[in-house]
Structure 1
Amino acid sequence: MTPPTALNIRETLLRAIEEQSPRSPIDSSLQSGSILQAAARALGAAFNTELEQALLTQWHELFRTGYLAWGFNIANPNPPFCHVTDRGRAALERLSHDPANPSGYLRHLNSAAHLNPVATSYISEALDCYVSSSHKAAAVMVGAAAESLVIELRDLLLERLRSADQTLPRNLDDWRVKTILNSLRSYFDSVQRQFPEKLREEYESYWSAFTQQIRATRNEAGHPTSVQPIEPEAVHASLLIFPELAKLANKLRDWVATNVR
């Protein structure tokens, strides 16, 4: 049996926390022992010291990065009592695909879109950075993943236009991503009447919004003008948007492959 990865262990812990979190004032408070025991049972960690230590490592990471805090109230401020923080509650609200749960996020992403290996490597590292609270690094990584999708779409369009001996849109072969995005938008704006209705609506509604939000956050982190940190909420938003951007990029790529000839 393949040992669980750190991401699998983290997801198991988060699910145990979600299941045991009090729903009303009369519910029992969270306690470390019951959460860890539930996670250990789910992982089959009994009598496996190495796996139990890996579980404890992920448990302490949840405290270090602000998803959990010790204590239930002033009368019970110390371990084994603990509680979910605001950041933790936000993660639990959409646990199946929140970036705080990289395993679930990647399952959701892979069900929504196909990623090239470069984009996959960058989004995986973005998730690693995010759960470690390295938000500047996460913003740069998710921006790079999005740029990989843009370049992939541009390369296919260039290939198809050249093979069809059609005039290339201005600056489509540029190396600067912002310039490529502008050229792609100009081209797709000119042909969007040929799109199926659903694709046209998605393109008009989301393409510019998705790319702009991710690039703005990435540029704020990658080209800093102040020492103010990137807000975790901005990086969180970029990561939540990314699967939808990837899905739309896939649809545009499929349209180009079928219709530009």
Structure 2
Amino acid sequence: MVTSGKISFNPTNPDLETVRQIVFERLRRDERDWHQLDRTGEGFAPYVEYAGQNQMDWQNGRNRLAFLAEEMFWQLVVEGILTPGWNSDNLNLPWFHITQFGREVLASTEPQPYDPTAYLKRLQERVANPDPTVMAYLAEGLETLRKGNLVASTVMLGIAAERVFLLLCESLEAALANAGEKATFAKLLARFSMKPKLDWVHNKIQQVQKQSSAGFPDNATIMIVAIYDLMRSQRNELGHPRELPPRVKREDAFVNLQIFPRYYETAEETRKFLLSNPV
């Protein structure tokens, strides 16, 4: 929770995800001066509001946060955001610096995959009643990204994206006004292959967009079809045996998780339109 521009921290019931948010906030705002592990916790004062009634409570809060922030430091090292050493004269701990990838993460706009609590909260603000299966695979994708399991993260995200697409297909089938189209699409949905379904949905969405239907997302073709096709291709490439070991760039996994909320939001806007508009 953020109050008065500060993040609330309760040392009697500490939450590592809250600690992550505090550390991220300090890294963003104190990048020039924070190069050394803070064993006192005093440097977090501008960013934290401690629970408690008196100075002793607040001091206990600072001590607890300093301890947990060091644990978070090692998590961020594993994630490639921080690394020990500041310069050629200070190569070891307690000195540290932000990696080039870390700078990209900290400078990126929301949603922020390396802050999963805020990421999922932001998604739930954009998508009312998100599908629990989508959220389960998405949460797994976020967790595996943080642990450096990039192939697993990409596969999990691909499954979440496929679930979103199939929910859209169900809504589209129900909204089809032409009996012939409905029968054709129903046969496609009964098959396992995704490519024919994707092509059919792409053509139908383009047709609806050309009619300039009020309430239909203008960017539906790009956001739904193109992005899902990208994620599907990546998932298929990684999810089947191959001669060479699979490889995923960390930056690619990161960007795909960043664009997923907009993809999901657009799909849900389209489903909402289809509920009351035969096509």
Please indicate the TM-score interval, normalised by the length of the shorter structure. 0.7 to 0.9
Q: Aligned partner of 2:60: which letter?
A: F
The offset of 1:89, in angstroms, is: 0.5
Higher mean Cα deviation, 51-60 or 250-259?
Answer: 51-60
2:227 counterpart residue number: 210
Q: Is the 8 A contact 1:119 1:148 kept in 2?
A: yes
SS at match of 1:80: coil
TM norm structure 2: 0.79
SS at match of 1:126: helix
- C-alpha root-mean-square deviation of aligned residues, in Å? 2.8
Number of corresponding residues = 254
Pair 1:179–1:39, CA change in 2 (3 A):
farther
1:71 counterpart residue number: 85
Q: Is the 8 A contact 2:84 2:95 kept in 1?
A: yes
Where do residues 23-172 of structure 1 align in structure 2 (5 Å cutoff)? Answer: 28=33, 30-33=35-38, 37-39=42-44, 42=48, 44=50, 46-47=59-60, 53-94=67-108, 96-114=110-128, 115-161=130-176, 166-167=179-180, 168=182, 169-170=184-185, 171-172=188-189
1:233 counterpart residue number: 251
Q: Hey, what's the Cα distance between the residues in 1 that align with 2:41 and 2:117?
A: 19
Report Cα offsets for 1:166-214 as digits up to 9, x if no partner: 3313413433333332232233233333343684631244333211222
Pair 1:119–1:153, CA change in 2 (3 A):
same
Higher mean Cα deviation, 75-84 or 110-119?
Answer: 110-119
Q: Hey, what's the Cα distance between the residues in 2 that align with 1:223 and 1:188?
A: 30
1:25 counterpart residue number: none
Q: Hey, what's the Cα distance between the residues in 2 that align with 1:244 and 1:234?
A: 16
Q: Aligned partner of 2:192: which letter?
A: W
Pair 1:123–1:46, CA change in 2 (3 A):
farther
The offset of 1:251, in angstroms, is: 1.5
Gaps of 5+ in 1: 23-27
Report Cα offsets for 1:71-95 as digits up to 9, x if no partner: 1111111222110001110110026
Q: Does 1:189 align with 2:194?
A: no
Q: Is the 8 A contact 1:158 1:172 kept in 2?
A: no
Q: Aligned partner of 1:80: which letter?
A: P
Could you say which structure has the higher helix fraction? 1
Q: Hey, what's the Cα distance between the residues in 2 that align with 1:186 and 1:172?
A: 15
SS at match of 1:201: coil
